[in-house]
Amino acid sequence: GSVTTAKTGAEILAALSAAKTAARPVTIMIDGTITPANSNGAEKIDIKDINNVSIIGVANRGEFNGIGLKIWRANNVIVQNLSIHHVNIGDKDAISIEGPANHIWIDHNELYASLDVDKDYYDGLLDSKSGAEYITVSYNHFHDSWKASLHGSSDTDSGERLITFHHNWFQKTNSRVPLFRFGKGHIFNNLYSDNIDTGINARMGAVLKIEHNVFENSQNPIVSFYSDNLGYWDLNNNIFTNVTWVESSADGTIVGPNGKSTGSLTPPYPYTLDDVNKVKEIVMQQVGR
């Protein structure tokens, strides 16, 4: 398809509109700072009712400041090499995915907000719901957020999800790293540091394969809290350093220091696990844009 460079939100929206009209793939290279002020009054950049879209930052110059991306009824979408932060308009998410949508790749981005505000001032850094599935989240740096990454917007938002998280760094987040309601997820070779309340939260029958991750200086790294039905985990060789485990007054359970797997999941694709003792070094060197 076509390749174009955008320096403003208005140019992104124009390129998406042209590709949609022509029914052709498009790659949009972001070379500048996208803001609400240069986005023709839009409260978010909608990738909507269109397939085969790549939004890719140029060097370290691709930035979304105060405005987020929404992938909505779109398939085969790549978001890569961007900084997206402090989004408090529209859905208040840095990136949101609303189905039906599938085959989405979120790779090598920096997504952040702030903990120095009310917990509802911003929303999620990366959320998905309503039939969004087949999503890969790799080499991203998530930090400074009350609500990092939610998948399933309510206890009735069911679906397979089929989301893989690998080689991400979740740093100084309060919760949802990630939160799954229903579905299946594979979470491997990620680094978790200085996370505050809860980490991975499996709810409403979600089954998560959690392996070769490093958790340090964090509370409740793996839990099933705040839904009527528990989720399940399949654990393999994770490292827990200076973590605390606190039972919740709400219905739920924690992995705990001697936790055992409560479910089983075999990912349907080949993959290679990094040595868990090298995960921290690898992730810190390679995440972000």
Res 249: pLDDT = 62
Q: Name the pLDDT band for 250 (thresholds 50, 70, 90).
A: low
Amino acid 217 reads N
Cα–Cα distance measured from residue 205 to residue 171, given in angstroms and rounded to the nearest whole number: 27
- Give the gyration radius of the chain's Cα atoms: 18
The tens digit of pLDDT for each residue in 184-225 reads: 999 999 999 999 999 999 999 999 999 999 999 999 999 999
The tens digit of pLDDT for each residue in 115-142 reads: 999 999 999 999 999 999 999 999 999 9
**CB neighbourhood size of 134 (10 A):** 16
Cα–Cα distance measured from residue 145 to residue 196, given in angstroms and rounded to the nearest whole number: 10
Q: N- to C-terminal Cα distance for the chain? A: 24
Strand (E) or helix (H) holding 280: helix 279-286
SS3 132: strand
157 has a pLDDT exceeding 70: yes
Q: Are 39 and 67 in contact (CB under 8 A)?
A: yes
Strand partners, 179: 150, 201
Cα–Cα distance measured from residue 241 to residue 224, given in angstroms and rounded to the nearest whole number: 20
158 has a pLDDT exceeding 90: yes
Tokens of 260: 């055992």
Residue count of the chain? 289
CA angle at 69 for the pair 271 and 223, rounded to the nearest 5°:
50
176 is catalytic: yes
Annotated active-site residue in 61, 73, 176, 289: 176
Residues 6+ positions from 281 with CB-CB distance below 8 Å: none
The tens digit of pLDDT for each residue in 86-119 reads: 999 999 999 999 999 999 999 999 999 999 999 9
Cα–Cα distance measured from residue 266 to residue 211, given in angstroms and rounded to the nearest whole number: 12
Strand partners, 57: 30
Q: Name the pLDDT band for 259 (thresholds 50, 70, 90).
A: confident
Tokens of 180: 């799954």
Least confident of 32-41, 246-255, 280-289: 246-255
